[in-house]
Amino acid sequence: MTMFNKKECVAMLLAGGQGSRLYALTQSVAKPAVPFGAKYRIIDFPLSNCINSGIDTVGVLTQYQPLVLNEYIGNGQPWDLDRIHGGVHVLPPYQKASGSDWYSGTANAIYQNISFMDRYDPEYVIILSGDHIYKMDYDKMLTYHKQNNAACTIAVIDVPLEEASRFGIMFARDDGEIYDFVEKPKEPKSTLASMGIYIFTYSKLKEYLIANENDKDATKDFGNNIIPALLANNERVWAYRFDGYWKDVGTIDSLWEANMDLINPKIPIDLYDPDWKIYSRNPVMPPQSIGKNAAVQNSVVTEGCYIDGSVEFSMISNGVTIEEGAIVLDSILMPGCVIKKNAKIEYAIVGENSVIEENAQVGSRPENVENRDEWGIAVVGHNLTVSSGSYVKPKQIISQSI
């Protein structure tokens, strides 16, 4: 153990979830590797938050479809996480002398990597997840954790009451101490939602992980097991209130909304702040080229694009081509996709390297749909072709070429 430099705080990033509610978009890619905001992938946000908060040792726990994610993280250099001591480490499940186990829950995934954390002899461990878009200074949360001499501090955010049943809901005293917790309550009585960010005093974390692992009935999950166990034993559990922008991007709708939030000047997430950059792996492409027939408004566009069509309220990722006469409205085009002449994309997400042939249409405005229940964001998965003249209906999700 002495071979490793001690780290005060180590981050463990849970990136193994399948993200099944993103359907075609996560069929071959883990959710944290899903493209976001024209030049990012979702995992860029927690990784950049780590380095911007002074945390330089990050374990990324992967399990589902790790190929793209592993390649993307690489040696961690884009996030300044290629370090002699610490840095980013991808931690897939592995075979042990006692047998091999997939990660069977969030707590179990961390439990299986106790030896990784032990190497850095940390005082604290911060548990993060790879499916949220936000900018947060974890160091401020750590200071708060220390001030309260807490065993565990949970970042919380006020959510509208009608959405509260989607989250783990906390009940806290005025001083911030949490006295009760309900996972996804049907009839929520508080609006303090867990953001899935936990700071633990490491000795406590280890103690509770081992106890949980020995409990045959446990689901090996932080929300279901570890937090209730801490509360039952009267451990000091505190709520850290966060009032910035935070968005879960676990569903098609929320992924679309979070992208659109970057275009909306009223939404408080500033990606242009030189003191809190969001880093990403660079695709090495020339600047975006805007043609003589183009009309681009209210949109975000990045390197390597060629646009000669009309683009409004859309997110255009690197290397996208939009030919003359094509119309892209209220949509997300992921890296490398091609929108051919006179094709129309409305309220849609088009996956990486997919091609929408001439005169094809993906999605439609809600006004054009008679029954609003049948309306929704249309999705074309990655590496697909939508052939000339065909139509992907609103709310339709395709994972095969048509």
Partner 1 sequence: MAVNMGNVMGIIFANMNESVINEITKNRTMGSVLFGGRYRLIDFPLSNMANSGVDEVAVITKENYQSLLDHLGSAREWDLARKKGGLHILPPFGHVEAGLYRGRLEALYGGISFLKASRAEYVILADCDVVANVDFKPIVNAHVDSGADITIVTHTGLYTNEEASSSTIIQTDESGRVCDVLHKPNMAGECTACLNMFVMKMEFLIQLLEDGNARGYFSFERDVLQRKVNELNIRTYEYDGYFSKIHDMRSFVKANTDLIDPENAKKLYLQDRPIYTKIRDNAPSKYDLNCIVKSSLIADGCIIEGEVENSVIFRGVKIGKGAKVKNSILMQDTVIGDDAVINNIVADKDVTVADNRMLSGSEEFPLYIGKGASV
Contacts with partner 1, residue ranges (CB under 8 A): 37-39, 77-78, 263, 271-272, 277-280, 282, 284-292, 294-303, 306, 311
Phi (first) and psi of residue 73, to 5 degrees: -70, -40
Q: CB of 38: closest distance to partner 1 in angstroms?
A: 4
Give 275: exposed, middle or buried? Use CB within 10 Å, 0-12, 13-18, 19+.
exposed
Q: CB of 150: closest distance to partner 1 in angstroms?
A: 34
Question: Which residue, chain included where needed, has tokens 């020995």?
Answer: 214
The token duo for 139 is 């160091």
Q: How far apart are the first and last CA of the chain?
A: 56
Which CB, 244 or 291, lies closer to partner 1? 291
Q: CB of 134: closest distance to partner 1 in angstroms?
A: 15
Which CB, 56 or 213, lies closer to partner 1? 56
**At a CB cut-off of 8 Å and minimum separation 6, what does 34 contact?**
19, 22, 25, 26, 41, 42, 249, 255
Which CB, 1 or 284, lies closer to partner 1? 284
Q: CB of 282: closest distance to partner 1 in angstroms?
A: 5
Q: CB of 395: closest distance to partner 1 in angstroms?
A: 28
Neighbour count for residue 251 (Cβ, 10 Å): 15
Phi (first) and psi of residue 294, to 5 degrees: -80, 150
Q: Which of 89, 132, 117 is nearest to 200 (CA)?
A: 117
Which CB, 67 or 295, lies closer to partner 1? 295
Phi (first) and psi of residue 24, to 5 degrees: -60, -25
Q: CB of 332: closest distance to partner 1 in angstroms?
A: 12
Which CB, 114 or 263, lies closer to partner 1? 263
Cβ atoms of 311 and 320 within 8 Å: the answer is: no
Q: Distance between CA atoms of 207 and 219, rounded to whole angstroms?
A: 17
Q: CB of 257: closest distance to partner 1 in angstroms?
A: 18
Q: CB of 292: closest distance to partner 1 in angstroms?
A: 5
Which CB, 38 or 337, lies closer to partner 1? 38
Q: CB of 275: closest distance to partner 1 in angstroms?
A: 12
User: Which is it for strands 327-329 and 152-158: parallel, antiparallel or unpaired?
Assistant: unpaired
Looking at the DSSP bridge assignments, the partners of residue 20 are: none
Which CB, 285 or 369, lies closer to partner 1? 285
What is the three-class DSSP state of 141?
Answer: helix
**At a CB cut-off of 8 Å and minimum separation 6, what does 224 contact?**
183, 218
Cβ atoms of 255 and 247 within 8 Å: the answer is: no
Q: Distance between CA atoms of 329 and 332, rounded to whole angstroms?
A: 9
Which CB, 212 or 288, lies closer to partner 1? 288
Which CB, 190 or 299, lies closer to partner 1? 299
Which CB, 231 or 263, lies closer to partner 1? 263
Cβ atoms of 125 and 200 within 8 Å: the answer is: yes
Neighbour count for residue 261 (Cβ, 10 Å): 16
Phi (first) and psi of residue 145, to 5 degrees: -60, -45
Q: CB of 67: closest distance to partner 1 in angstroms?
A: 22
